[in-house]
Amino acid sequence: MLTTEKRPLTILMGAPRGFCAGVVRAIEIVELALERYGAPVYVRHEIVHNRYVVEDLERKGAIFVEELDELPEGDRPVIFSAHGVPKSVPEAAQDRNLFFLDATCPLVSKVHMEAERHFERGLEILLIGHTGHPEVIGTMGQLPKGAITLVETVEQAEIFEPQNPEKLAYITQTTLSVDDTKDVIAVLRRRFPQIVGPHKADICYATTNRQEVVKEMAPRCDMLLVVGAPNSSNSQRLVEVAKKSGCERSMLVQRAADISWNMVEGIETLGITAGASAPEILVQEVVSAFRQRFDVQVEVIETRKESVSFKLPRELRQAAAQ
């Protein structure tokens, strides 16, 4: 006689998880621009790194482009993504008399301002980050070419030779692994004791908090899933942190359809969290998929509360109030 009894599974849900304040603000900017100015509204680059979010905004009337020269002539608004852009981008928009809204996360803008202050003081600047990431491109593009040197690893930090060891500063990408970045900074501080760093860490609160809860969860998990996009830096870092924290079977999934069910055989405790650009609806979709196959008991692992919010651009505050 066949049995339909479901095997028990404990799911540990990380909290906080998912959208950060910068992502919420960026999505709201696109939605309010569509309400106020009508479709289409153009967005340079993915507003945040998540296809579900991008496709939802496309259905509402947003058109995503990689460069401004893809925009047709006219008076339609263009929005810059949450990752930030080089200074050349708003300059090019002004040259074309384009109306633009900047959805750069305020914590990324903080790093941009730090870079400018260091440059004004005559300091050589190191940026700890990942080659090719839009945030890194945007940050390096705040200053003349050559003013910022990218350092990705401890090994690169060990061999870097500054022009003047006494006139050196560092900044970081906001979505890095906290522990890996600490290691790079430790090398720089050992080699260059006078190096100037940020008054407050550049890695953003949401990145830090999500990594913290993963460290708490991972030792208890047989498997840990991070809901997020492959091009999302903070999501990829969560997978790395989970593996280093004791859960080798950790992986990224964009949504429930990506789950490889033969890989979950034998697990008794599953961890689930989400990167800062992944919507909660996709997390619940994953949980529902497990409920269909297992007798699920959910336990929330919460390491801290989040209450951060960021102001909208002045042009859209009135629309938000209405």
- CATH number of the domain residue 210 falls in: 3.40.1010.20
Residue 3 has pLDDT above 60, yes or no: no
| Chain centroid to CA 55 | 18
Q: Tell me: do 161 and 231 sit in the same domain.
A: no
What is the per-residue pLDDT for 315?
85
* pLDDT value at 303 more than 90: yes
Residue 247: inside a domain, yes or no? yes
- Residues of the domain holding 164: 108-191
Residue 108 has pLDDT above 80, yes or no: yes
Is residue 320 domain-resident? no
269 phi and psi angles, rounded to 5 deg:
-130, 125
Residues 33 and 116 in one domain: no
Q: Among 237, 217, 291, which residue's Cα sits nearest to residue 14?
A: 217
* Closest C-alpha to 7, from 304, 264, 194, 311: 264
Q: pLDDT, tens digit, for every residue of 169-205?
A: 999 999 999 999 999 999 999 999 999 999 889 999 9
Confidence of residue 17 (pLDDT cuts 50, 70, 90): very high
Task: Provide the CA 201 distance to its chain's centre, in angstroms.
Answer: 16
Whether residue 313 lies inside any domain: the answer is no
User: Does residue 295 lie in a domain region?
Assistant: yes
* Active-site residue, selected from the candidate residues 70, 116, 135, 302: 135
- Residues 73 and 116 both lie in one domain: no
Q: Same domain for 237 and 295?
A: yes
Rounded average pLDDT over 82-95: 96
212 shares its domain with 294? yes
81 & 58 share domain:
yes
What's the CATH code of the domain at 29? 3.40.50.11270
Q: Which of 55, 83, 105 is the last residue of a domain?
A: 105
The domain boundary residue, chosen from 74, 105, 136? 105
279: amino acid identity, one letter: P
Instruction: Give yes or no: 135 in active site.
Output: yes
Does the pLDDT value for residue 1 go beyond 60? no
Residues 163 and 94 in one domain: no
Please state the rounded mean pLDDT for residues 105-132.
Answer: 98
Average pLDDT over the chain, rounded to whole?
A: 95
Q: Which residues pair with 274 in a beta bridge?
A: 227
| Spatial distance between the Cα atoms of 177 and 241, rounded to a whole number of angstroms | 7
Q: What is the pLDDT of residue 2?
A: 53
> CB–CB of 37/77 below 8 Å?
yes
DSSP 8-state code for residue 196 = B
The pair of three-digit structure tokens given for residue 311, joined into one six-digit string: 């102001």
pLDDT value at position 319?
63
Share of residues in the chain with pLDDT > 90 (%)? 93
The confidence band for 322, taking pLDDT boundaries of 50, 70 and 90, is low
Question: pLDDT tens for residues 218-268?
Answer: 999 999 999 999 999 999 999 999 999 999 999 999 999 999 999 998 999
Q: Are residues 230 and 281 in the same domain?
A: yes
- Taking residues 306-318, report their average pLDDT: 90
In a shared domain, residues 99 and 116: no
pLDDT for position 308: 95
Domains in the chain, number? 3
Find where tokens 């006689």 sit: 1
- Among residues of the chain, what percentage have pLDDT more than 70? 98
HSE-up of 217 (CA within 13 Å, CB side)?
39
Q: Which two tokens stand for residue 321?
A: 């109030």
